A = this chain, B = another copy of it.
Amino acid sequence: MIIHLKKNLNKQRIEEIAQLVKAIFYVKDDIAVLVTPAGLKELPKEIQDDVDQFWPMKNDLQLANKQYRSERRTVKIGNTIIGGSTNNVVLIGGPCSVESLEQIDSASILMKDLNLSTLRGGCYKPRTSPYSFQGLGLEGLKLLDKMREKHGLNVITEVRDATQIEEVIQYSDVIQVGAKAMYDQGILRACAKTQKPVLIKRGFGSTLQEFAQAAEFVLSGGNENVILCERGIRTFETGTRFTLDLCGVAWLKEYTNLPIVLDPSHAMGYAYGISDLSKACLAMGIDGLLIEVHPDPKNAKSDAAQQLNYAEFTKLVGELKAMAGVLNYNLV
């Protein structure tokens, strides 16, 4: 159950109530928002006088649930707002990994030239082998920082595990929680304590319910700026790298109130399908796209097969902008 307490309650009373109903709570705009386990279906008598509004919930998808807030939430990325009734679609582009100043600067110029606002680039790579390129780490974060300053771009980068979460919070405009870290409470609970936007990627073996509930760890800690990112699930089909779950996106749109970004690059795993899939995603009605682009994909240090080159990316952005115009979206 979600409970909004009345505005004038003191901290001690709030804590008393929270303890009584076994709730997590945070305070926003002077309102204490309590969330109890979903098992609680009726308001206890002892607290009825203190309650402004309450929502019994069917399961632990609570703050992210449309039954609680029916309109899509807004999230501000730098100066760009997505979600709500903005019709904005943020097209996040950039290389899989930050590899060098030259490379990331080049990608930044591409983004600026195309009038796009938000740059991606991995610094801590969650590779499945310790013997592969692991990312530039802090050095990469500092390069992203430079790009923000030099080009005025928002930057988004992935946190791999809880040991570098503070650095990532410090250096990025959007914190990306990667698919392999979706259940990582060390990360999620740290993200709950900042107000920076958090983009949570769906674990490739995670159900929609689990995915949406990962957001609850951030929301219930008081950070309402959460974005969900579908990036493909693992299925029996190995002709493509993963399987982009657009039925799942329809489900997220029906049941959750969070902005949704789609990542066709990681789903497909091959450059050839990215263009068609990006158009499909845009046509569905979503809040953002995440597309990998690299100055020289064949020699990329990670994800070589799936990154577009500049010509492909430029062509695709043009097509998406045309389509966005018709469908009444703004590609930002």
Contact = CB atoms under 8 A, between A and B. Distances in A.
Interface of A: 24, 35-38, 60, 62, 126, 128-132, 160-164, 180-181, 183-187, 203-210, 213-214, 216-217, 220, 232-251, 253-254, 267-268, 270, 272-273, 276-277, 279-285, 323, 326-327
Contacts of A210: 128
23 contacts: A24-B130, A35-B130, A37-B131, A62-B131, A126-B185, A129-B216, A130-B220, A160-B185, A161-B186, A162-B163, A162-B186, A163-B186, A180-B184, A207-B237, A234-B236, A236-B238, A240-B251, A247-B273, A250-B273, A253-B276, A254-B272, A280-B283, A282-B283
A59 to B, nearest CB: 8
Contacts of A163: 162, 186
A21 to B, nearest CB: 11
**Count of this chain's copies in the oligomeric assembly:** 4
Contacts of A251: 239-240, 273
B250 A132 contact: no
A327 to B, nearest CB: 7
A130 B329 CA distance: 35
A236 B239 contact: no
